[in-house]
Amino acid sequence: MELSGRGPFRINCKVVCQSQPVDYVSRNQTTFTGSPQRRPCLQGTIFCVDSAPDVFPVQLKAVLEDVSENDIQNAVIDHMYTVIAGKESEGLSEQLVSISSWKDKIDLYSQHLRGTTHCSSQYVRTLIDTAYGRIVEAKKYDPDHLKKSPMRSKIVLMRCRTQPEALAACPSDFGLSQYTRQPVDVHELQAEHSDALLDLRCTPIVHKYLDPRLLEDYSQKNLCETYSPFNNTFLNVADYTSED
């Protein structure tokens, strides 16, 4: 098993919120007046990139397949070593095969990293614990509790055209209509899942849902960086004094 930042292991689920104005009192506490139905609430637009609560477990299972927990641990350690040390490990993968304890694996991982990085031992241990912990928690993910109270925000799904066979029976909106009271807008991307955020359609799709005033302010903003072409030249007083 191989983990790669741009490979199939990465699962995109980027969320961008555009909030509408809400009345606040001191310490950012919302002021509610009137009946509950008329109370102001924080709303926005949520952009999901080729993933959703219902399909995330399916996507993760398709990536991990039937890989054992021991192999996942070894793959994470081998990948994180390459990320931190900037090179492939020498003999680390072979030694990990005979170790079953996660703690012992981290000890071996730390020993191999000595002299290859300026990071402290505590830092590299915390880093790999976090990386593996996210995979463990992702496997436990259960989105059912989110369906109990659908949000008022708009959800926009940008899904890739090519989907794994496991999602063949999944609706076009990835089941996101269960999580919002508004209709879900679905846009199709040409890129593969691992490169979804690099698709040129992403930017215009997001701009379509932004506040026109925000786009107008941005279009009129001067984005040029000012600089001096002679910033390394000292002022020569003689050049600015007139001859008598």
Strand-pair category, 45-49 with 185-189: unpaired
Q: Determine the pLDDT at residue 5.
A: 40
Ranges of H-type helices in 86-184? 92-96, 102-113, 121-139
**75 lies in a domain?**
yes
**78 lies in a domain?**
yes
**132 lies in a domain?**
yes
Token pair of 220 as six digits: 């009129």
Q: Determine the pLDDT at residue 231.
A: 58
Burial (Cβ within 10 Å: 0-12, 13-18, ≥19) of residue 91: exposed
Return the residue matching tokens 């919120």: 17
Q: Determine the pLDDT at residue 43.
A: 79
**114 lies in a domain?**
yes
Expressed in angstroms, the distance from the first to the final Cα of the chain is 83
Q: Determine the pLDDT at residue 7.
A: 38
Determine the structural domain holding residue 125 and report its residue range: 69-139
Q: Determine the pLDDT at residue 50.
A: 94
Q: How many domains does the chain have?
A: 1
Q: Determine the pLDDT at residue 80.
A: 92
CB 59 within 8 A of CB 175: no
Q: What is the pLDDT along the chain (244 residues), one digit of tens a residue?
A: 544 443 333 444 444 433 333 222 222 232 333 344 444 456 789 999 999 999 999 988 888 888 899 999 999 999 999 999 888 888 898 999 899 999 999 999 999 888 888 888 899 899 999 999 999 999 998 888 888 888 899 999 999 988 888 888 899 999 999 999 999 999 999 999 889 999 999 999 999 998 888 888 888 888 777 666 665 555 555 555 555 5
Distance between CA atoms of residues 220 and 67, nearest Å: 53
Residues near 132 by Cβ (< 8 Å), separated by ≥ 6?
72, 73, 76, 102
Strand-pair category, 154-160 with 45-49: parallel
Burial (Cβ within 10 Å: 0-12, 13-18, ≥19) of residue 56: middle
Distance between CA atoms of residues 244 and 232, nearest Å: 30
**190 lies in a domain?**
no
CB 155 within 8 A of CB 186: no
**135 lies in a domain?**
yes
Q: Phi/psi of residue 180, each to 5°?
A: -145, 155
Is the entire prediction scored with pTM above 0.85? Answer: no
Token pair of 211 as six digits: 């506040």
Q: Determine the pLDDT at residue 116.
A: 85
Strand-pair category, 154-160 with 185-189: parallel
CB 84 within 8 A of CB 102: no
**92 lies in a domain?**
yes
**28 lies in a domain?**
no
